Amino acid sequence: MMQRQFRRRRVFNFHRQTFGKFEGIRLFVRMKHGNWLILTVLFIAGCNSADKVAQPPPEDIPEEAAPDHGSEPANAQPMNQPESEPRGSEVFEATSEEAEEEEKFSKVDVYFATDRQRVDNTRPDLRYGPTRNMEGDHLEYGKAIVTIPDIHVPGRVERPKWWKFEFREDEKKHVVLREPKLMEEGEFYRSIQASTSSNPADELLMFVHGFNVSWGDAMRRTGQISYDLGFGGVTLCYSWPSQGSLKKYPVDKENSEWTIPHLTKVLMDLQSQTEIGKVHIIAHSMGTRALTYAIANAKDAGIELDLNNIILAAPDIDRDIFKEQILPKIEGHTDLLTMYASSDDEALKISRSFNGSPRLGLSGDSIFVIPQRMDTIDATGIDTSLLGHSYYGSQQVVVKDIFGVIVKGLLPPARSLSQGDYGEWDLPLAPPPQ
């Protein structure tokens, strides 16, 4: 009996020494020292999780791919400020040393217009669902804060990971959407006007998301893009009722058509109810279809929209319809029209099979190039993810190029691009890891 107790005590001491440097696990040993199997699993997982939290994830793009801010305009927020100056459109100013230590994140104000149905949910990122808002003119307006952690890696939307034992959002680690504030239509545009008027950068950046995107994801991505670009003006997210599911492509396709008149209204109201100096729009995937048709609708209604940049990222649009019916109606509405395409885009390959027609965002031998009317950027080889469809916001080399377009106002020859075989502009590939 004494020998058995002695052995048990020796095992307990061994595990205390092994796990002693992990305070949470050491306490667990003291309370639950009878179950060594669970403790061992926790220890192994905890080590990996701690390492990943302590260090940012590995870069997909090398450091030299980050934008050079040496010649950026005075009204731009740089993408890479010194560590002593947090980045973001609206940086949190701590009122005490304690607050500065605790709140290690920046804040980005994101306005939103959406024709999604509002739902009764306490989570800010679930306040709007995947169904259509059938009330009134279908639109609701507001503003929310998106927080960006100081450990943020450009091109990423950091979210909790269960394998890191992250079961709650932490603004020091994750991109977080705070509680949205609803606004009436008039108040919405007056607030945007006041924000641009009081800002040295009299500009607005609108983001229109694509297929398989929830409202919360759209808002977080909008904040992340604005932050990574160091955009100094007002940021706006237009969110239509995507189902947020890969299986619901046909539903998303119909909803992207249903939203067109509502997006047309927002574009025309922005022009008639505000006096913004410059308006830039980034649309992705199926969102490019909604945006281009909305601009075409405005032209048909006799409204000449005055836009500075339209960026079509991985556009899920019938290439022939775009060339013959859409392009003639939108090119006169913007100073610069830029399109990003890739032959690695598996999502658009699936769309091509589903729709039975070539997609504008696929490059290769069929890449769509009209040099005098639109700048075509080939992003082939940049995104190595499963679908290769979200490179516009997730790959630093693409974010850098968009930075050159929107913030610096540079044409392709001045943006470290090379002329391709078909007249397109090729992005520089990242060197292989050492």
- Model confidence pLDDT, tens digit, residues 127-144: 999 999 999 999 999 999
- How confident is the model at residue 101, as a pLDDT? 52
Give the distance from CA 286 to its chain's centroid: 15
The pairing of beta strand 140-149 with beta strand 105-114: antiparallel
pLDDT at 332: 85
pLDDT the model gives residue 79: 40
- The domains of the chain are located at 2-54, 81-426
Q: Tokens 């945006």 — which residue?
A: 291
For the chain, helix, strand, coil in percent to 5 are 40, 20, 40
pLDDT < 70: residue spans in the chain: 1-102, 383-388, 393-394, 430-434
Q: Identity (one letter) of the amino acid at 261?
A: P
Coil, helix or strand at residue 414: helix
Beta bridge partners of residue 86, listed in sequence order: none
pLDDT at residue 402 in the model: 94
Which residue bears the tokens 């217009």? 113
- State the Cα–Cα distance between residues 115 and 212, nearest whole angstrom: 16
Task: Quote the pLDDT of residue 125.
Answer: 92
Instruction: Provide the pLDDT for residue 413.
Output: 93
Q: In this predicted structure, what is the pLDDT of residue 105?
A: 92
| pLDDT in the model for residue 88 | 41
The pLDDT, as a whole number, for residue 69 is 36
- Rounded to 5°, the CA angle 220-343-291 comes to 45
Report how far apart, in Å, the C-alpha atoms of 96 and of each of 71, 89, 92, 102, 374 are: 34, 21, 12, 10, 50
Q: Specify the pLDDT at position 9.
A: 38
**So what's the pLDDT on residue 364?**
87
- Per-residue confidence (pLDDT) for residue 243, from 0 to 100: 96
Question: pTM value?
Answer: 0.75
The mean pLDDT of the chain is 79
Q: Which residues contact 334 (CB under 8 A, 6 or more apart)?
A: 305, 307, 308, 309, 310
Q: Which amino acid is at 384?
A: T
Superfamily of chain region 81-426: Alpha/Beta hydrolase fold, catalytic domain (3.40.50.1820)
State the pLDDT at residue 430: 54
